[in-house]
Amino acid sequence: MSPTVAKARKSGASAKKMPSTRKKKSATKPGKRKVVSSKLSFKGRVFDVYTDTVIEPSGHKTVRDVIRHNGSVVILAVDESQNPKDPTVILERQYRHAAGQYLIELPAGTRDPGEAPLVAAKREMIEETGYRAKSWTMLLRYYASPGFLAEWMQIYLARDLKAGESKPELDEQIEILHMPLSKAMELVRDGKIHDGKTLIALSLYDAGRRQGRL
């Protein structure tokens, strides 16, 4: 055997795949958060603000300002008695100081401490619109803005409506709007509804009807 062939065979032998020294990635479960300290920084009529020092699941230690809130309910009240194919939606128009403008919204409100969400939804609908409903369905539960706001919002679909007298709070100047769903969705598409909860609820309901789920 020539030295060249022998060298080639030796090289070939040494070229065999060596066992990898790299460790395989293991599926690690995220850790749990740990609140190191929590200080009340502001106490308001509707919400409180806490400054929390926290070790997050990644292990990163940071300071977060968090708004604590009892949670809110949103009521999508629909009247299907006149036109089931294009039901009437109960909407409101009211001035919102934080937005600096009038907004079109669904009825909604804050839960009282210890109040069940459905009880709050029924109370808020009566207070703001005067309507009562025989049928209630919880459509969705979501965080409004989880970057800093620990508030759950729950959207309820209210059907089989009965009109009554509203009992708004002193600071609530509300104009009630009775609008066909098709018109409400037209406002959504045209960018004329700017309230997040209303956009979510109307879009969810419209999609559910189109898919035959609602």
Active site residues: 172
Cβ-contact 79, 90 below 8 angstroms: yes
Tokens of 106: 């669904």
Residues in a beta bridge with 39: 51
Cβ-contact 101, 95 below 8 angstroms: yes
Please tell me whether residue 10 adopts helix, strand or coil conformation: helix
d(CA 59, CA 67): 23
Q: What is the CA radius of gyration of the chain?
A: 28
Phi/psi for 178 (5° steps) reads -110, 110
Please tell me whether residue 61 adopts helix, strand or coil conformation: strand
d(CA 14, CA 190): 69
Alpha helices in 137-195 (DSSP H): 181-189
Please tell me whether residue 198 adopts helix, strand or coil conformation: helix
